[in-house]
Amino acid sequence: MDILYIRNLKVDAVVGIFSWEKRIRQPLHLDLEIALDIRKAAATDDIQYALDYKTVSTRLSQFISQSEWHLIETLAEKIAALLMAEFGVTWLRLKLSKPAALPSADSVGLMIERGDKDAPCLFSE
């Protein structure tokens, strides 16, 4: 299986449990890996057979910036569901980071893997 990845996509969002967090936009960073088969796109050199990473990034940025959540856990699940429903993704790994969450840490966040349980675990970090 091949992997399309997007690293460090930055989107400002309203996410948090505290009242002050509900009044501001905070930066979120996403790392995304999507399993797919690129052979047809490679053989034809035709974008219609590829997963367009610009379209994926634009859609994610739009969705995240227009939503409000208490927990990044909820947002991560919503992102995975969106990718599977709108782009036909069958396996993904998402790292969602909130760099401004703790003053004493560079970032906090979580990683989730969703999709086909038979897909290989390919995360490189």
Question: Each residue's pLDDT tens digit in the chain (125 positions)?
Answer: 899 999 999 999 999 888 888 898 999 999 999 999 999 999 999 999 999 999 999 999 999 999 999 999 999 999 999 999 999 999 999 999 999 888 999 999 999 999 986 555 544 44
Cα–Cα distance between 110 and 95 in angstroms, integer?
A: 6
**CA angle at 77 for the pair 76 and 82, rounded to the nearest 5°:** 100
The residues that are catalytic are 98
Q: What is the pLDDT of residue 123?
A: 46
Question: Model-level pTM?
Answer: 0.88
Cα–Cα distance for residue pair 120/125, rounded to 1 Å: 14
Top CATH class of 2-115 equals alpha beta
Return d(Cα 13, Cα 86) in angstroms, integer.
Answer: 21
* Nearest-angstrom CA–CA distance, 112 and 18: 24
- State the pairing for strand pair 2-15/68-69: parallel
Instruction: Give the residue extent of every domain in the chain.
Output: 2-115
